[in-house]
Amino acid sequence: MKTGHLVPGCKMEDMIEKERLVNQYLEQGNKDAAIKLLFDFVLACAKQGRFEAAEAMRSRIFEIDSMALDEIIRSGEIIEEEKRQAIDSEHRRIWAKLYDSLSVEEANALYFAFKKAAYQAGEIIFKQGEWKPRLYFIDGGQAKIVYFQDDTEVYLKPVRTGQFSGEEAFFSPSICTTTMIAQSRIAAYYLDSDILGVWKTTSPVLESKLQSFVSGAEKISDLLKAKEKDRRRQRRITLGGRAEALLMDSSNNPAVRPFSMDLADISRGGACFVVGIRKRETAALLLGKRLWISYLHPLMGSSQSINQSGTVVGVHFHPFEDCTVNVKFDVPLPRELEVQLEKLSLQALQDVDI
Q: How does pLDDT run across 24-71, given as a tens digit for each residue? A: 888 888 888 888 888 888 888 878 878 778 888 888 888 888 888 888
Q: Is the pLDDT of residue 197 over 80?
A: yes
Q: What is the pLDDT of residue 99?
A: 94
* Least confident span in 159-163, 280-284, 330-334: 280-284
- pTM, to two decimals: 0.57
The domains located in the chain, with CATH, are 12-86 (1.25.40), 114-227 (2.60.120.10), 235-353 (2.40.10.220)
pLDDT confidence tier of residue 173, bands split at 50, 70 and 90: low
Q: What is the pLDDT of residue 234?
A: 64
The whole-number average pLDDT for the span 259-264 is 92
Q: What is the pLDDT of residue 235?
A: 75
Query: What are the residue ranges of helices labelled H in the chain?
Result: 12-27, 31-47, 51-64, 69-86, 89-94, 96-100, 104-111, 167-171, 195-202, 206-214, 220-233, 280-285, 335-353
Higher pLDDT residue, 56 or 329? 329
Q: What is the pLDDT of residue 209?
A: 94
CA-wise closest residue to 22 among 14, 34, 13: 34
